[in-house]
Structure formats: C-alpha cells, structure tokens
Amino acid sequence: MKSSYSLSNLKPKTNNGLNLILSWMILTVFAACSSSGREGVEEEQFAKYWYQGKAEINVFDLQQSRYGEVRPGKAVMIFVTEDFSRTKQVKMDNPQDRPSDAQKVMKLNMTREFVTGVYPYQTMLSVFTPVYEEVPSPKLTASVTEWCGQSFTQLNYKSGKYNAKLFSYFEEEGDTEVKINGLPEEELFNLIRLNPDLVPMGNRALIPSLIFQRFAHIPLKAEQATISKKSLGSNQSEIEVMYSQLGRKVTISYQDFFPYEILEFTETWTKANGQQEVTKAVRRQMQLMDYWNKNEKVFEPLRKDLGL
C-alpha cells in the first residue's frame, strides 16, 4: 500500500495532538487505498530517502548560451517533497487539518545565475509533480530577472489543460493568458527522480521549457517532440527530447539507479538561420540539507562547500 504522507512532518500544536495524528493516519490510509499509485515508486525505498526532512541540493557548472555567446555561471537544482493543496495548488501550511486536500509532490526549484556583459541574469523554475498519483504536474512557475526588467509565467492544470498566465516587461509579449494541452518539458526532471520508467517515450505534445520560451521570445504553446532513452554505460542513462520544428534538442543524463540523480543536461537550439546555441550544465556538488533551518550567518561557509 502506498501512503502519501510522512508522520515525521506532523507537529501537533494542541493537547489533542495524538488524536489528530490518529485521525490523519486513518484518513490517509483510506485515501491511499482508493487512489491509483504510480507503479514505479517503491514506497519503502522512496520514503527512506525523501522523507528524512532534508532537501537534495545539486550544484552545476553552467555554460549558458545567451545573445550568441556562452556565459559561465551556476545552476542549482533543489529537489524536496512537500504537501500540496489539490484545490489551491499551493504548499499547505497545515496538511493535517485537511488531509483529503493534501497530495505529496516532488518539488523542483531550479535557479540559473550568469552575467551578460555588465549585467546579471537570474532565472528560477518551480515544478510540482505528484509522487503517487498518475496525473500531470498541477503547477509550474518560471521567472527571469535582469537589469532590463522581469518576466513571470505560471501554469495551472485544470479541467484537462494548463491555464497559462504570462507577464512581461516586453510590449509585444505583454500580459497574456492561454490554455495549453501538453506535457511540460520541465516535468521530465521530476519524473526521472521518481522513476525514469515514468517518462513517456515516442511522439508527444510537449510544452517547451518555460525558461527557453522566455529567452527565445516564442509563443507559449505545445509542440510536437520525440522522447527517447539510451544507456550511456557505467550505470548511467540519458533522456533525449527532440523538437523537429523548433530545432531544439534537450538531453538529460542521470544515474540509472535509485534515487536517479541528475548528472548533467544540455540544451541545443538551431535557429532558422543555422546559428546554433548550446547550453550545458554539469553537476559538481550534491548535499542533503535542511537548508531552511540554516539561515543564520554562521551557516554561510556551507555555500563554499557547495561550490557557490
């Protein structure tokens, strides 16, 4: 039986805490029994690693292609599980109060930092993917900030499609809202972490990377892509995504055993004029850490340990 919640995360605040925990356990068991679980997620193995109260912090050396040149920088992937509200599509403050509304998700927070000439770029992506339920990621957000201005994109999955809202300082992009039917490309990172066998193969309608869409200034819509997988040897495999019409190829390399750590990724974009832009990130450091409890100055040396 697959259980969606970890009792170690409970923090009762009243004298009825024990009754609250027992009630939540009963409701959770019934919810787990009535839901279809992802076949590739082994509960005991998964829980031992992902429910120990820490996040996995992965630091990558980044070579980001921008404005026709390759810029050195850093990318950080933070993977962590948390309780997510089905109705509000936000992280729940007190999931034990509304267990029927809670679903366990794998959250990816990914940042990129690099400099273009005199001014810096920062991007951030968030992807929330259900751990146990075979349904699309309910929410994705992406932001790009630099000295010229900001842009922000949010996708919410509702009624079988993604409702996308885009905000930008560019006049032509402006503030828009569209509906899209497709699998988000950036959900693939989370599916790999759950189990690479969950990544769908073959021809698919994909929503290209939200960060790429902002950098390329192309319409946000689903594109036809082909997904394939191959072994690299040495217990490593690679997922490849090819968009023939966009001229975009994405490869993600990972360890071919639990917890399926991501080792590097490459984005290649061949423009209509034949010019090719290649972005690559190679992992250098990984640590498990409850970083939210380490926000005092005394912990700043930990950034050096991470290579930041």
Count other C-beta atoms under 10 Å from residue 9's C-beta.
14
In a domain, 8, yes or no: no
Please give the Cα distance from 304 to 308 (Å, whole number).
5
pLDDT of residue 11: 37
pLDDT surpassing 50 at residue 33: no
pLDDT band at 39 (very low <50, low <70, confident <90, very high): confident
Average pLDDT of the chain? Answer: 89
In a domain, 5, yes or no: no
Q: Which of 307, 200, 211, 190 is nearest to 254 (CA)?
A: 190
In a domain, 45, yes or no: yes
In a domain, 107, yes or no: yes
Is residue 189 within 8 Å of 77, Cβ to Cβ? yes
Which stretches does DSSP call E strand in 67-175? 69-85, 102-116, 119-130, 139-146, 149-158, 161-168
Helix (H) or strand (E) holding 213: helix 210-216
CA distances 305 to 91, 272, 287, 290, 300, Å, are 29, 42, 9, 15, 10
Please give the Cα distance from 38 to 129 (Å, whole number).
12
Please give the Cα distance from 164 to 166 (Å, whole number).
7
CA distances 62 to 56, 97, 173, 251, 272, Å, are 18, 42, 27, 15, 25
180-210, pLDDT tens digit by residue?
Answer: 999 999 999 999 999 999 999 999 999 999 9
> What is the three-class DSSP state of 126?
strand
Q: Classify strands 223-233 and 236-243 as parallel, antiparallel or unpaired.
A: antiparallel
pLDDT surpassing 90 at residue 6: no
74-114, pLDDT tens digit by residue?
Answer: 999 999 999 999 999 999 999 999 999 999 999 999 999 99
pLDDT of residue 109: 98
Please give the Cα distance from 218 to 170 (Å, whole number).
12
In a domain, 1, yes or no: no
In a domain, 6, yes or no: no
In a domain, 21, yes or no: yes
Q: What is the mean pLDDT of residues 22-36?
A: 40
Count other C-beta atoms under 10 Å from residue 10's C-beta.
15
According to DSSP, residue 298 is labeled: G
169-173, 265-269, 275-279, range with the lowest pLDDT: 169-173
> What is the three-class DSSP state of 292?
helix
Q: Which domain holds residue 66?
A: 15-305
How many domains does the structure of the chain reveal?
1
pLDDT of residue 38: 84
Q: Give this prediction's pTM.
A: 0.87
In a domain, 31, yes or no: yes
